[in-house]
Chains A and B, each alone.
Chain A
Amino acid sequence: MGKPKLGVFKFASCDGCQLSLLDAEDQLLAVADAVEIRHFPEASSRMEAGPYDIALVEGSITTPHDAERIQQIRRDAKFLMTIGACATSGGIQALRNGADTAEFMRAVYASPEYIQVLDKSTPIAEHVKVDFELRGCPINQYQLIEVIQSLLAGRNPRTPRHSVCLDCKRRGTVCVTVAQGTPCLGPVTQSGCNAICPSYHRGCYGCYGPAAQPNLVSLSTHALNEGASAAEVSHNLRNFNVYAPAFRNESQRLTDQIKEQN
């Protein structure tokens, strides 16, 4: 049996997650040694057809063409894993979901009739079965290597599901919300970044998406009680993971509240 065949595929995204993989250098070489990379546009012009043992998919589905292309990749791949917030929850471009895409097109493009685009930016899992979702904007390179190594070793990957807060505390970072009143999504966001933003006195933007069983309503209720406006709180949820169900629902709930009040 030869080495497992790996393909990396890009949809609507900034390429940052693929770059994270390239950034891993030493580890990447070890991984590259263990797999046969057949398709990785960011790294090599060599592009070979499937089947693939492992397909890493970056980016969200935003065009009719992409919606077809992902079906073929799924057919070609034994194990399909999304990498990053775009592929996993629709990405920052999912901000357009729920708004008038046609109007955006008219505003941005001189000849919008040449643009073929779907109304929504959607995660890969809305189109095909996904075997594993790796969170993050961008992904954590060590987590990516861990998942690939675990696949090769036939074990379950270790990608913790706890909140960002646990990482802040392990680092000795003082809570920016409690000590400085800075809004922070850390308590409802999954770990993965090693709590980098609070260590620079900034609140968490939720790059790794909702933590398991997140209590969004409590967090925003507390923020409102502390004097934040529903618009602000809702806005904080509208980021790289705006279309992740937990963030999307809470943001929508707050928006509905604002509408009711007006």
Chain B
Amino acid sequence: MNSSCSTTGETADSQVNHWVPQTAVIREITPEVNDVATYQLALTDPAAAEAYRFVPGQFNMLYVPGAGESAISMSGNPESPEILAHTIRVAGNVTRSIAAMKVGDTLGLRGPFGTSWPLEMCAGRDVILVAGGIGLPPLRPLIYRLLAERQQYGQLHLLYGARSPEMRLYTEEYHLWSKGGLEIRETVDRSSPGWHGNVGVVPLLLERLKAFDPAKSILLICGPDLMMRFTARAAMQRGMTAEQIWVSTERNMQCAVGLCGHCQLGPEFICKDGPVFRYDQILPYLKVEGL
């Protein structure tokens, strides 16, 4: 379905037992905001570490024995896959267990899984990245990649919405990203003292975006279902088509290889056919309540 996406699924080695995790060790933990931290992991098996490659948009299954597995997007630089960054918000048993870990502790890792952001579609176009809350980490590998090959793309925009100014992720990197040619616009749901920026939902940022040629742009969105739909609608009102919009979807991913059935949305297994979809392909199912 996503022929323009590189899908590890299509090239998966059928001889590998995808159920057995690799051992990964925590090299570094960076607290980000309340309940969110970034974990730099390294595979302990040298051969596995050497062979590991991922593309922006993909995820790993992180495993804490006794607690279970959780699908976590890669949030680091794909050019340095020897260190695997995962920005994790405490949400359930697994992420709570990870939050209790320290540098040097080990956990299980399966991956990478899923489709990637359509880099080849970005070339020569204006690229607008839209993230809501914890939706920024899955886009960060793409930001690194776009900035590393800056000359290949037109304008680069990041429209980011967070619940509050304190919940904004990676703020210490914004300076570098701006200098590299990424225009960052932010908004928050709730203001707090010292915040002089926008207050309101993310689609507003898109509506206000000036000097933007819908015809030669591509929009990549990651956030809650509803936020993605409203953002896409705003983009379409400004003249973009659904074929120019890509979204990263989320469902209950358990096996990550399309064998357990949990993450289905219409005909798609979000874990292996997604998480990144072209909007026109997933919209018919995304818009049906309770599908």
Contacts and interface: CB of A to CB of B under 8 A. Distances in A.
Contacts of A155: 67, 93, 96-97
Interface in B69-100: 92-93, 96-97, 100
Nearest to B92: A156
Contacts of A156: 92-93
A105 B67 CA distance: 51
A136 B93 CA distance: 24
Nearest to B97: A155
A2 interface: no
A116 B159 CA distance: 68
A145 to B, nearest CB: 14
A160 interface: no
Interface in A34-53: none
A172 interface: no
A155 B67 CA distance: 8
Most B Cβ at <10 Å: residue of A153, A154, A155: A155
Contact-size category for B: under 10
A51 B93 CA distance: 27
A212 to B, nearest CB: 15
B281 to A, nearest CB: 32
Most A Cβ at <10 Å: residue of B67, B93, B96, B97: B93
A231 B67 CA distance: 46
A208 B67 CA distance: 25
Interface in B91-125: 92-93, 96-97, 100
Nearest to A154: B96
A154 B92 CA distance: 10
A155 B96 CA distance: 7
A156 B96 CA distance: 10
A153 B67 CA distance: 10
A154 B93 CA distance: 8
Interface string A112-156: 000000000000000000000000000000000000000001111
A153 B99 CA distance: 13
A156 B91 CA distance: 11
A155 B66 CA distance: 10
Contacts of B66: 153
A215 B92 CA distance: 30
A185 B93 CA distance: 32
Contacts of B93: 155-156
Contacts of B96: 154-155
Nearest to A156: B93
Contacts of A154: 96, 100
A88 to B, nearest CB: 23
Interface string A147-172: 00000011110000000000000000
A154 B64 CA distance: 14
A196 B83 CA distance: 50
A155 B100 CA distance: 11
A112 B12 CA distance: 77
Nearest to A157: B93
B102 to A, nearest CB: 16
Contacts of A153: 66-67, 97
Nearest to B67: A155
Nearest to B99: A154
A6 B228 CA distance: 47
A106 to B, nearest CB: 53
The 4 closest A-B pairs by CB, nearest first: A155-B93, A156-B93, A155-B96, A155-B67
Interface of A: 153-156
6 contacts: A153-B66, A153-B67, A154-B100, A155-B96, A155-B97, A156-B93
Given A153-B66, A154-B96, A155-B93, 6 more contacts: A153-B67, A153-B97, A154-B100, A155-B97, A156-B92, A156-B93
